[in-house]
Structure 1
Amino acid sequence: MEVKIGIKDTPRELVVSSGQSAEEVEKLVSEAINAADGLFRISDDKGRKFLVPADRIAYVEIAPNDVRKVGFAVGA
């Protein structure tokens, strides 16, 4: 899954390619908002860990990884 995290007062978003399902990511965000430490934790496909303060999250976009199709059109 591709997870885009918008952070308040930051012009760029954090993009993480995660092996987790959309439901798992949504659960992590929800838990982070209600957690005592208030940290959203997510790991990417390469094993890197990202920690984002939940009160700084503006939005989270969860989408499947882009599958690019390459094809050729034959003209008449």
Structure 2
Amino acid sequence: MDVRIGVTQAPREINLELADDADRDDLKARIEAALGGATDTLWITDKRGNDVAVPSAKIAYVELGSAESTRKIGFGD
């Protein structure tokens, strides 16, 4: 699952690729808690095991990609 996080006053967004077995509902709940002010920091662990922290006050938007990996490579349909 791909996650894209926009950060205020930053020119680029944060792009993360999560493990295929990542719990989408749990991630949504943690994002909602961060945006609602229940937590000061949103922590996400990517596919490689790296932990990424984003201050809740700096999150502009969060975009969750599809649950299944459907990236296409090349010119095929």
Instruction: Tell me which interval the TM-score lies in, with the shorter structure as reference length.
Output: 0.7 to 0.9
| Aligned partner letter, 2:44 | I
- Give the % identical residues: 26
User: Residues 72 and 11 from structure 1, CA distance in 2 versus in 1: closer, same or farther, beyond 3 angstroms?
Assistant: closer
What TM-score do you get using the length of structure 2 for normalisation? 0.77
Give the RMSD, CA atoms, in angstroms. 2.2
The amino acid across from 2:18 in the alignment is S
Look at both structures and tell me which one has the larger radius of gyration over its CA atoms: 1
Letter of the 1:59 counterpart: Y
Contact residue 3 and residue 17 of structure 1 kept, 8 A = yes
Residue segments in structure 2 that go unaligned for 5+ positions in a row:
none
- 1:38-53 equivalent positions in 2, closer than 5 A: 38-53=40-55
Partner residue, 1:59: 61
* Residue in 2 that maps onto 1:8: 8
Gapped regions of structure 1 (runs ≥ 5): none
Cα offset for 1:72?
5.7
CA shift, 1:45, in A, is 0.5
SS at match of 2:9: coil
Superposition TM-score, scaled by structure 1 size: 0.78
Question: What is aligned with 2:17?
Answer: 17
